Amino acid sequence: MAYEFLLPDIGEGLTEAEVVRWVVSVGDQVAEDAPLVEVETDKAVVEITSPSGGVVLHHGARPGETLQVGAVLAVIGQPGEAWSPGDAAPVVGTLIEDAEILAARDGEPEPPAMAGVRTLPLIRKLARDLDIDLTEVEGTGPGGRINREDVQAAAARRSTIKMGPMAGGGEERVRMSKLRRTIADRMERSWREIPHVTIFDTVGADRMLDLRAALSSRYDAPVPLEALVVKAVLPILAEFGEFNASLDGDDLILKRRYDIGVAADTPDGLIVPVVKDADGRDLRGLAGEIVRLADAAKSRSLTPDELGGATFTVSNIGAVGGGHGTPIIPYGTTAILSVGRAEPQAVVRNGAVAVARMMPLSLSYDHRVIDGGLGRRFMARLRENLEEPGLFLAG
């Protein structure tokens, strides 16, 4: 009897997936627990295996198409078996993360040279669509991994060679990736439904940056700036609970947990992994967790649990050269802090001009919950902590 494999519940907040590549074609045999299809969710590329062996009778969607959770993903039966919708028993599949080496297209032996190419499945698909040989592309990602920009740059160089440097005009329609479409939908909803207010400040960062350098040397491991910022903001969130909350109709839900989103810039877009129970970690543990989550974000290997449930968010736009900004509040929270790049500036101290490293801060908050006075008091307390790290490290 044939089985209808339904797209499984992928995790918190994820209700659909886009097919990237079918590992097994219709009419081919598949073994139990063998890779069946690769799909892209909002935040990760994952592999779905077959719950049972048999012959693939039907694909529920073509590459590039999106399926809702619970929809028929594939039908597996016996050789020569006929199938029509509704004739099979439903079975839910399983997910296995896969963000590294990917086999060639169905039915095609992978060239030996491709076996060592490091990239994501969706980037291999992009390269195939653009007819780019990945063995000739130099990866600029971590460990030499090839990212989307590398492939697009290779395609642009080839186009320039074919067309000539003076070619111009025309236009190109490019479908946004699943991740980019998800980001766009969430940002639009947040901006449409939340009345944003953004306030700005600039704080002296000398003591904090010196402390960061000393701790990195002592630990012999990187201490991300975000780790110190999160440590500085945690006691303030406890004091000003409106910033660690969510709005549900006429009720404000004050969160007594501190799961802090730390935005990560990746080749495929902005991803915000969540440091769970941030208040229960010491600085060294917090730093290690932020580094781990950032690496997983870049390789698209985060789990759904690591991507959901943030109660407050920190975004270090200084890591990409940013200064002040107007960050958009993640939907379901009430505030986000953006930290810019610290730069030497002339400042007046004790009546004299001095040079100090000054760091821009931008705090966006939900004006339905937080008014201007409360926002300024939050920022003033944060300024105190960042300029004198001992205030929050001692506690």
Q: In this structure, is residue 282 part of a structural domain? A: yes
Residue 337 confidence (pLDDT): 97
Q: For 8-32, what is each residue's pLDDT tens digit?
A: 776 555 678 888 889 999 999 999 8
Residue 310 and residue 262 in contact, taking contact as beta carbons nearer than 8 Å: no
- Give me the pLDDT at residue 38, please: 86
Structural domain contains residue 295: yes
Does 172 map to a domain?
no
Residue 155 falls inside a structural domain: no
- The answer to whether residue 313 is domain-embedded is yes
In a domain, 111, yes or no: no
What integer pLDDT is reported at residue 84 of this predicted model? Answer: 76
Cα separation, 168 vs 164, whole angstroms: 9
Residue 327 has pLDDT above 50, yes or no: yes
Q: For residue range 273-294, what is the model confidence (pLDDT) as tens digits? A: 999 999 999 999 999 999 999 9
Name the domain boundary from 47, 64, 97: 97
Specify if 235 maps to a domain: yes
pLDDT-wise least confident of 97-106, 171-180, 212-221, 245-254: 97-106
What CATH number is given to the structural domain containing 48? 2.40.50.100
pLDDT in tens, 84-106: 776 656 655 544 433 333 333 44
Same domain, 203 and 84: no
What CATH number is given to the structural domain containing 329?
3.30.559.10
Domain finish residue from 55, 80, 97? 97
Q: Examine residue 341 and state whether it is found in any structural domain, yes or no.
A: yes
Whether residues 65 and 183 fall in one domain:
no
Annotated catalytic residue 196: no
Residues 196 and 331 in one domain: yes
Q: What pLDDT does 100 receive? A: 36
Domain range for 369? 179-393
Question: Which pLDDT band, with edges at 50, 70 and 90, does 147 fall under?
Answer: confident
Distance CA 235, CA 391 (A): 10
Within this chain, do residues 60 and 203 fall inside the same structural domain, yes or no?
no
Set 59, 196, 324, 367: catalytic member: 367
Mean pLDDT of 337-353: 92
Domain count of the chain? 2
The pLDDT of residue 66 is 86
Task: Output the average pLDDT for the chain.
Answer: 84
pLDDT band at residue 229 using 50, 70 and 90 as cut-offs: very high
Domain shared by 85 and 190, yes or no: no
**Domain final residue pick, 97, 121, 140:** 97
Residues 198, 326: contact at Cβ < 8 Å?
A: yes
Residue 107 Ramachandran class (φ > 0 left, ψ -120 to 50 alpha, else beta): left
